[in-house]
Structure 1
Amino acid sequence: MSNIRITKQFSFETGHALYGYDGKCKNVHGHSYRLDVTVIGIPISDNTNVKFGMVIDFGDLKKIVKDEIVDVFDHATVFNKNTPHVELARELENRGHNVLLVDYQPTSEMMVIDFAEKIKKRLPQNIKLHSLKLQETATSFAEWFASDNE
């Protein structure tokens, strides 16, 4: 049987600021992100299995990505916890805002690496993460491919 890639798309709204950056993105701002998650595997060949013919149920993939990424990052503001932005983050939290403190500069590039690690840990053993595409704007995106990271 052949390996097949399937992709599910997600969207979420997230704010961030890039500490130390020399452009506009040093200011707190937000994006309407789109995340394409592509996994690869062999479709289930057991015709008695309710998931017969599927690589993975799209609903199962959706649950993983929603739990790990979408529900966490949607309508949150992300800051690198290793910068003075932590003071701003605490103030926002004290005012009831949803703030995420991460170990990295919250660029699309670093976010997609983080997302890949989180998703890989939750996939069934016979399913592999093939690629992620995190679109920040209509014309800008970062991609992660398993084949580039083996």
Structure 2
Amino acid sequence: MSNIRITKQFSFETGHALYGYDGKCRNVHGHSYKLSVTVIGTPITETNNVKYGMVIDFSDLKKIVKAEIVDVFDHATVFNKNTPHVELAKELSDRGHNVLLVNYQPTSEMMVIDFAEKIKKHLPKTITLHSLKLQETDSSFAEWYATDNE
């Protein structure tokens, strides 16, 4: 049976600031992120299986990505918890804002690495995460490929 790649796309709004950066992105700002998640596997061949012919049900992939990424990052502000931004984060959080403190600089590159690890943990054993594409703007994106990280 052939390996088939399945891709599902997601979107979410997230704010962040890059502490120590030498450009505009050191200021708190946000993006309308677009995330493409591609998995690879062989279609189910058991004719009595309700998922017959599918690599993975798109709705099952959606549940994983929504729970791990979209519902967590959507309309949140992300800061590196190892920077003085923790003071701003605490004040925003105390005022009822959704703030995430992460162990990395919240660039698209580092976010896509984080997302890959979170998604891989929840995929069925027969499915492999092939790639992620995190689009920050219309012309800027970061990509993660399993083959680059073996």
- For normalisation by structure 1, the TM-score amounts to 1.00
Equivalent position of 1:38 in the other structure: 38
Across the aligned residues of Structure 1 and Structure 2, the Cα RMSD in angstroms comes to: 0.2
> Within 2, Cα distance between the matches of 1:67 and 1:113?
17
> Within 2, Cα distance between the matches of 1:52 and 1:91?
51
> Within 1, Cα distance between the matches of 2:114 and 2:122?
13
> Within 2, Cα distance between the matches of 1:148 and 1:131?
10
> Within 1, Cα distance between the matches of 2:99 and 2:61?
25
> Within 2, Cα distance between the matches of 1:125 and 1:90?
39
Cα deviation digits, residues 100-149 of structure 1 (max 9, x gap): 00000000000000000000000000000000000000000000000000
CA-CA distance at 1:35 after TM superposition: 0.1
CA-CA distance at 1:94 after TM superposition: 0.5
CA-CA distance at 1:80 after TM superposition: 0.0
Equivalent position of 2:100 in the other structure: 100
Equivalent position of 1:52 in the other structure: 52
> Within 2, Cα distance between the matches of 1:71 and 1:131?
20
- For normalisation by structure 2, the TM-score amounts to 1.00
CA-CA distance at 1:77 after TM superposition: 0.1
- Answer yes or no: is 1:115 the counterpart of 2:115: yes
> Structure 1: where are the runs of 5+ without partners?
none
CA-CA distance at 1:31 after TM superposition: 0.1
Equivalent position of 2:74 in the other structure: 74
In the comparison of the two structures, how many residue pairs are matched?
A: 150
> Within 1, Cα distance between the matches of 2:30 and 2:55?
34
CA-CA distance at 1:54 after TM superposition: 0.1
> Structure 2: where are the runs of 5+ without partners?
none
